[in-house]
Structure 1
Amino acid sequence: MKKFAVFGNPIAQSLSPTIHQMFAKSCGELIQYDKIEAPLDAFEDSINHFFADENTVGCNVTVPFKERAFAMAQHKDAAVCLAKAANTLMLNPQGELCAYNTDGIGLVADLNNSGLTLAGAKVLLLGAGGAARGVVHPLLSAGVTTLHILNRTVEKAQAIVNDANNQHVTAVSQQALLAQYDVVINSTSASLSGTLPAVPDAILANCQLAYDMVYAKDSGSTVFMTHAAKLGAVQQLDGLGMLVEQAAAAFAIWTGKQPATAEVIEYLRNR
């Protein structure tokens, strides 16, 4: 049986085992997928022990270990190099650790599922942490022509711009914002504490889609989504679809099979 796991600390809340078991069933794969709470001071040892099993295929990595997973890998793709953090690991045939970041792939897939056209779109990204870093490369690959990053510390946003080295990405202040964006993406964790990111109301009022990378666990709407809806944003979406889509991208990397996601998203929504 093929073995997989998700590593984090804490990890009890993870939906990954449910998601990947549903993928496996739909794709005809028999898998074992565990949650592993790695000690904060022994993550690398935990990963090495996990991959020492000949049945192990790959794993997911979540907070606070994504940067350390990136550092462990011998092979890294373009998205993971810009993110400087990995959420997916696997061994190649030579036994070398390969790192990927599928968060941005998941975001782009979920935005496409919403009916939005990213080619030529103007996007405002709120925040400049690891979550923001992870989605820049896939958004650019999807054809976004304007990607503005708004962060309280402009220097942090500028660091992402410098690493991206792409004319379509710019760090902006509130005074330099456009009058209208197609999508406003909240990559901050503000919704987890019931607060809002610092963005002018007019920006949310004029956008087609207000997207919160945090997913709504109970009410169906995050603080950011509710605020955007009241201001007049045409559509609001949380990050549950992104969570499932990034998992689907990881599953495809490991197995070569692309699972359907709509039923999984619907199941988790109604759970």
Structure 2
Amino acid sequence: MTPLTDLYCVMGNPIAHSRSPWIHERFAQLTGQALHYERRQVALDGFAQALHDFAAQGGRGCNITVPFKLQAAQLATTRSERVQLAGAANTLVFDDGGRIHADNTDGLGLVADITQGAGVPLAGRDVLLVGAGGAAAGVLGPLLQQQPRRVAVVNRTAGRAHALVASHAALAMLQKTELLALDIQAPEADFDVIINATASSLEGSPAPVPASVLRPGSLAYDMMYGPAAQGFLDWATAHGATARDGLGMLVEQAAEAFQLWRGVRPPSAQVLQELRTAIAAGA
């Protein structure tokens, strides 16, 4: 049975904290789109079944968050170039024939929030990407396409950093960007932009890298937001960097997904401002 209003969702575990329903329903209000968007908590071993059930209920698209981004890429029928490069997907589009197309809008959202939201250009800059999991893999390609001078990847497990660098080596060469893996404990370099793609704050560690990676005025960006990002943001501010959380990335990647689903570009800057106001008010 097809729902009267197009159905969308975000799947993850945990998921109760997700702001995505508020964001997408606000996008819908501002663009005159009729849709319903909900959170779906998925059992750790139940992602494939959850996708099947959602499609059977007439679902049109969903966002994917931790820990299912790698599975989302694997289970899709077709994959965008971004997904093929990253091996991870955060946006799925369902067609009437039951096929699932996977895309990854995380990197587009990150780049938009850094270059437009924070007003920091990436071209010609030195960038440190901390982490080599699905979150880091999803953003490295779009970061390289901004043609920074250098991108270094560090990770607690060095082999994963080297593997991520190897998988993006051809793109880096095409963009004329130096791409390398460094030791997470002693990167021996400093950077204009530091992007934390780990969950270090959740683990009780404010920063997984030494303060020596910061330059005066560096942008220190945590892809998480809210309490999960606070330790990293406090660390960055204490060492003279400009700190920014991932709330803008969340809104911008959602705007990219919304455009994929509905063919309409929502006013992301307005929605981000409204969301920050709502969070500050305790909503």
Aligned to 1:80: 83
1:228 aligned to 2:236?
yes
Superposition pairs of residues 121-136 of structure 1, within 5 angstroms: 121-136=125-140
**Within-5 A mapping of 1:1-271:** 1-54=5-58, 56-92=59-95, 95-112=98-115, 113-165=117-169, 166-167=172-173, 168-173=178-183, 175=186, 177-178=188-189, 180-217=190-227, 222-233=230-241, 235-271=242-278
For 1:25 and 1:135, the matched residues in 2 are separated by 29
**Shift in Å at residue 95 of structure 1?**
4.1
Shift of 1:144: 2.0
* CA offsets 1:115-173 (integer angstroms, 9 cap, x no match): 11112221011122221111100101122231101223321100001111234321012
Question: Does the residue aligned with 2:139 lie in a helix, a strand or coil?
Answer: helix
- Deviation (angstroms), 1:267: 2.2
Q: Percent identity?
A: 44
The one-letter amino acid of 2:102's match is A
User: Partners in 2 of 1:176 and 1:224 — Cα distance?
Assistant: 18
Asked if the contact 1:104/1:135 (under 8 Å) is kept, the reply is yes
SS at match of 1:152: coil
Tell me, what secondary structure is at the counterpart of 1:135? helix
Contact 1:120 1:145 in 2 (8 A): yes
Cα distance in 2 for partners of 1:12, 1:175 equals: 37
Q: Which residue does 2:281 correspond to in 1? A: none
- 1:77 touches 1:100 (CA, 8 Å); kept in 2? yes
Q: Which runs of no fewer than 5 residues in structure 1 stay unpaired?
A: none
Distance 1:176 1:214, change over 3 A: closer
1:207, distance to aligned residue in structure 2 (A): 4.8
3-state SS, counterpart of residue 86 of structure 1? coil
Gapped regions of structure 2 (runs ≥ 5): 279-283
For residue 27 of structure 1, report the CA deviation from its aligned partner: 0.9
SS of 1:35's equivalent in the other structure is strand
* Alpha-carbon spacing, 1:42–1:207, altered in 2? closer, same or farther (3 Å): same
> In 2, are the aligned partners of 1:205 and 1:231 still within 8 Å (CA)?
no
Q: TM-score, normalised by structure 2?
A: 0.87
Count of residues in correspondence between the two structures: 266
Contact 1:183 1:207 in 2 (8 A): no
Q: Note if contact 1:20-1:247 (Cα within 8 Å) is conserved in structure 2.
A: yes
- AA aligned opposite 1:31: L
In the alignment, is the contact (CA less than 8 A) between 1:184 and 1:207 conserved in 2? no
Query: Runs ≥4 in structure 1, deviation > 6 angstroms?
Result: none
SS in 1 for 2:112: helix
